[in-house]
Chains A and B, each alone.
Chain A
Amino acid sequence: MQTLEQLIAVAPVFAGLAPDHLGLIAGCGRNTHVDPGTFLLREGDPANRFFLIRRGAVSLEVHAPGRASLRIETLGAGEVVGWSWLFEPFRWQLDGRAIELCELIEFDGACLRGKCDIDHELGYQLMRRFARNIVDRLQATRLQLLDVYGDAPARV
């Protein structure tokens, strides 16, 4: 059976971290699982945790009054759900809903922020990795906004 440290070491977001930093991060995490339909995040709620998906899929959604929820993105195994625990005002900006049975590692965001305040190298390494993750998702969102499969110009 793998330890939490071994499990998180293979996740892209934590790849290459020093063993002592992995230990500190693992100290704020626990294994959990949720059924399909479970909300991991609710827009506006306090953001004091985040998740690493080990198995399953989570849908990020925006609630719009009078309409069905708008699905923004699906996250799968190896991906991180939740950044808002890193930034004030520590409130979720989106809904996050399991759409499959999910095996997750849940991290206590306040616990990890506290460790980053004490160990700035951990904070820097973690921030670099989350920034990379955020940039990748921003690039994907830009491509999504381009609507590249939209109506092609009439050519002939």
Chain B
Amino acid sequence: MVPAPFELVAKRQDTADTWTLELMSRSGVPLAFSPGQFTMISAAGTGEVPISISGDPTAPERLVHTVRAVGLATEAICAAEPGSRLSVRGPFGRPWPVEQVHGADVVIAAGGIGLAPLRPAILSLLARRERYGRLVLLYGGRAPDQLLYTDELDAWAERGMDVLVTVDSAGPEWLGHVGVVTRLVRRAALRPANAVAMSCGPEVMMRFTVAALRRVGIGAERLYASMERNMQCGIGHCGHCQLGPTLVCRDGPVYRWDELEPWLAIREL
């Protein structure tokens, strides 16, 4: 529960409003984590925010977060310069089931900054490429200049992942796909009987994407999504992130779709 001091050691701007930060523990003890987990992070004088870990789980000595500046706390975090101190609690939450799906085809469906919480899963899958069937990344963004990790996408493809990228809008200079991420599902020619899908992005995007994945035959029990609510304590005590009978910080953020579906249908939640 007690925040630990971390030092910002490297910083890279990904898009106009998004930065990837690399932190190191001041205690020297790495923060071990599983893909899909998040931390509560804060800059001095501002509130804590839940941010998914986007780094490589096999290299936990550097804690990596990709942060979009959308409010006071995240703006302060993104404005921090190397050498600054940030406070970190965690890691929290239920991870992606990377270790439970050996032998399966794994479909990663990401929208916008939703690729960040999936990056550790992708790196884990690729690190043990031989344990899985086909690996497919379906990644949608708003525009070409808002795509994340563009320098890594080709490397992931070279390591054995089918990488399909689309943007909602683009000028004529963009030679890639234009259209929403759901349109990539059919194009990917998936083998539904052996496929597991993990999705993260805006909730509306995930609903439509899951619907498209189910239309090609992937059952709800083989679909996973990462949810976002108002996580505060991170350990299931405060109740701010309640979703139906669950608490997203403790029971999520990764849920199996058949666990999640009844609650998403209730508009008041």
Which residues of A line the B interface, CB within 8 A?
12, 57, 59, 61, 68-74, 76-78, 99, 139-140, 143-144, 146-156
A149 near B146 with CB under 8 A, answer: yes
Shortest Cβ distance from residue A33 to the other chain B in the assembled complex, whole angstroms: 19
A76 to B201, CA, bound (A): 24
A77 to B186, CA, bound (A): 10
**In the complex, the 6 A-B pairs of residues with the closest C-beta atoms, listed nearest first:** A149-B112, A149-B142, A154-B71, A156-B73, A148-B202, A74-B177
Q: How many residues of B contact A (CB 8 A)?
A: 40
Known: A76-B177, A78-B186, A149-B146. 13 other contacts (CB 8 A): A69-B172, A143-B180, A143-B205, A147-B142, A148-B201, A149-B112, A149-B141, A149-B205, A152-B68, A155-B49, A155-B71, A156-B46, A156-B72
A-B contact count (CB 8 A): 84
Interface string of B169-192 (1 = CB under 8 A from A): 111101111111011001100000
A32 to B119, CA, bound (A): 41
Known pairs A146-B204, A156-B72; A71 contacts B142 (CB<8 A)? no
Interface string of B199-216 (1 = CB under 8 A from A): 001101100100000000
B70 interfacial contact with A, CB 8 Å: yes
| Residues on the B chain within 8 Å of A143, using CB | 180, 182, 204-205, 208
A57 to B73, CA, bound (A): 43
| Residues on the A chain within 8 Å of B166, using CB | 74
B111 interfacial contact with A, CB 8 Å: yes
B74 interfacial contact with A, CB 8 Å: yes
A77 near B180 with CB under 8 A, answer: no
A151 near B70 with CB under 8 A, answer: yes
Smallest CB gap from B70: residue in A = A152
Shortest Cβ distance from residue B102 to the other chain A in the assembled complex, whole angstroms: 31
B130 interfacial contact with A, CB 8 Å: no
Interface pairs (14), CB distance under 8 Å: A59-B178, A71-B170, A76-B187, A78-B187, A140-B179, A143-B182, A148-B111, A148-B201, A148-B205, A149-B112, A149-B205, A155-B230, A156-B73, A156-B74
Interface string of B132-147 (1 = CB under 8 A from A): 0000000011100010
A57 to B208, CA, bound (A): 24
B83 interfacial contact with A, CB 8 Å: no
Smallest CB gap from B208: residue in A = A143
- B115-174: which residues lie under 8 A (CB-CB) from chain A? 140-142, 146, 166, 168-172, 174
A69 to B174, CA, bound (A): 12
A99 near B175 with CB under 8 A, answer: yes
A74 to B177, CA, bound (A): 5
Of the candidates B47, B73, B168, which one forms a contact with A149 in the assembled complex, judged by CB atoms under 8 Å apart? B168
Smallest CB gap from A150: residue in B = B142
Smallest CB gap from B189: residue in A = A78
A156 near B187 with CB under 8 A, answer: no
| Residues on the B chain within 8 Å of A154, using CB | 70-72
| Residues on the A chain within 8 Å of B74, using CB | 156
A59 to B170, CA, bound (A): 11
- B70-88: which residues lie under 8 A (CB-CB) from chain A? 70-74
Known pairs A71-B170, A71-B172, A156-B73; A148 contacts B187 (CB<8 A)? no
| Residues on the A chain within 8 Å of B48, using CB | 156
Shortest Cβ distance from residue B48 to the other chain A in the assembled complex, whole angstroms: 8
